[in-house]
Structure 1
Amino acid sequence: MTQAVISRNDGPVAWIKLNRPERLNAMNRQLVDELAAALAKAEAQVDTRVIILHGEGRAFCSGDDLKDLDAQTVSEPATQAWVEAIQNVTLQIMQSRKIVIAAVHGWCVGGALEWAINCDFRLFADNTRWFFPEVTYGLFVTGGVTALLTKQVGPQVAKELMILGERHDAAKAVEVGIAWKLVAEAELLNEARKLALTIAERPASAVSDIKHAINEGFHSSLADAMALETKATVSGFMSPEAQARAKEF
């Protein structure tokens, strides 16, 4: 059986590639399970600082593989397990101690778009096309985007994107804040690597703590956010590496 997800290490960077190019990397159970395993493996590697998620062939990922959808939704328990598997990838990305970069090109649709939104940095190639098809089908979004995206772009834009489900180009992704940066397709993976190496130069604990605090801050009160900040700041001040860097600066 061909691997649906391929991973490799390059110094402090773990590359995770969606690998069903004949189906535009559409999501089936094999891909979701192998992606979860690859993320878990990268998380366990102490020397890995940054994960880059990208797609083989002409697309990042075209969303659910509609050809395989019957196999995932044959019963309510099967459907429950399928959705939970998709949601588990969101938790792995957002709760990871590593920074996760999405390097997106071609089609990025539905659940895959939601995974991209879960990532810490999102680089979009200039040929990217994206949309939320779920409501048009009578389905629903995943990835926590009803909370995450609403707070990023505001409720009006979030409703526009999810309810109307229109197809958009890469420039629109930058305009609304879904994409962090727009790059030429030919330079996408090189730009992702340069960003990853820049992040890897920062102290690991400080980067992990700030990611955790920011992600938790989406949902927390001011008091909760300040408590997280206090704990992480005390930890930073007590770090010999942080003290040495501050004195050098």
Structure 2
Amino acid sequence: MSDFTYATVRSVPEDGGVRRIVLNRPGQLNAMNRALLDDVARAFDEANADPATRAIVFTGEGRAFCAGDDRHEHAHPESEEEARDLVEAIQRATRAISLGPKPVVGAINGWAVGGGFEWAVNCDFPIWAESAKGFFPEVSLNIFVTGAVTSLLPAMVGLLKAREMLFLGERYDAAELLRLGVAWRVVPDAALQDEALALARRLAALPALSVRAMKRTLNATAASDIHRALALETDATVAGFLDPETTRRLKAFA
């Protein structure tokens, strides 16, 4: 396997048919700008197309997995077309993670906020470090969630708990997320990467045909219609981005 090069993401081959995809904006806590969104989608698309890659580890460099939208680079869209192009970039990354054929092990370190929390939910096997935390601030910011979490999260935690998490934006530590079924496993911070790689190697050793079919079938049957969720989320998020109130709230968010 060879390295794939991107401006904001590292895609690194490991032994045993595993590839690590690493968000690489540590100075910004791996917050999402347009370059990161595009690079994540490209990195997963190319890993999914690479015959030598049989399983993927998804993690973040530095002190956070992903701190959500980069509010310092947020620019209010000038048109619906511009807003829709941005939101579609977010959803392209989700499709590559959730609907791609290769199993994805999340190694969730530090904060997973908003879209970063969505990416953690998108992983097939999310392993959280003991110190990691996550929350969804979107409703308080006058925008909407993406990443098909309106379908995936109720399947994981039940509808009532999903309402709490998405409406109220409560903050959850890794132990609580394990209890809720959002984290697959919680491990000491120092063991996170080794645990994720070990699981990915185990998945990579399984027959690719059956692994691909199992991922596809579970996503189609365990949650409600992911494709419909992505479409409805996109429309709602576009509307939020077009409201000037959103920009004010994003810039005030801390």
TM bin, normalised by shorter chain, reads: 0.7 to 0.9
Tell me, yes or no, if structure 1 residue 175 matches structure 2 residue 179: yes
1:137 to 131, 135, 141: 141
Asked if 1 retains the 8 angstrom alpha-carbon contact of 2:31 and 2:66, the reply is: yes
Deviations 1:44-99 (A, max 9, x none): 1111110111000100000000111116x343222111111001111111211100
Q: Distance in 2 between matches of 1:6 and 1:75?
A: 32
Q: Distance in 1 between matches of 2:171 and 2:58?
A: 22
Amino acid aligned to 1:113: F
Q: Secondary structure at the match of 1:67?
A: helix
**Residue 112 of structure 1: CA displacement?**
1.2
- What residue number does 1:110 align with? 114
1:199 to 198, 203, 208: 203
Amino acid aligned to 1:194: A
Q: Distance in 2 between matches of 1:151 and 1:191?
A: 25
Query: 5 Å matches for 1:94-109?
Result: 94-109=98-113
Flag the structure with larger Rg: 1
- What residue number does 1:215 align with? 219
- What residue number does 1:237 align with? none
Q: Distance in 1 between matches of 2:59 and 2:33?
A: 16
- What residue number does 1:228 align with? none
**Residue 138 of structure 1: CA displacement?**
1.4
- What residue number does 1:55 align with? 60
- What residue number does 2:161 align with? 157
- What residue number does 1:18 align with? 23
Tell me, yes or no, if structure 1 residue 123 matches structure 2 residue 123: no
1:92 to 92, 96, 116: 96
Q: Distance in 1 between matches of 2:78 and 2:176?
A: 37
Alignment root-mean-square deviation, CA: 1.3
- What residue number does 2:36 align with? 31
Q: Distance in 2 between matches of 1:34 and 1:146?
A: 24
Q: Distance in 1 between matches of 2:122 and 2:40?
A: 14
Q: Does 1 or 2 have the higher relative contact order (CA < 8 Å, sep 6+)?
A: 2
Q: Distance in 2 between matches of 1:219 and 1:21?
A: 35
Q: Which runs of 4+ in 1 moved over 3 A?
A: none
Q: Secondary structure at the match of 1:102?
A: strand
Q: Which moves more between the two structures, 54-63 or 39-48? A: 39-48
Amino acid aligned to 1:36: A
**Residue 26 of structure 1: CA displacement?**
0.1
Aligned residue-pair number: 218
Question: TM-score when scaled to structure 1?
Answer: 0.85
Q: Distance in 2 between matches of 1:157 and 1:104?
A: 21
Q: Distance in 2 between matches of 1:213 and 1:44?
A: 19
**Residue 101 of structure 1: CA displacement?**
1.0
Cα pair distance change 1:4/1:199, threshold 3 Å = same
| Unpaired segments ≥5 residues, structure 1 | 221-249
**Residue 115 of structure 1: CA displacement?**
1.4
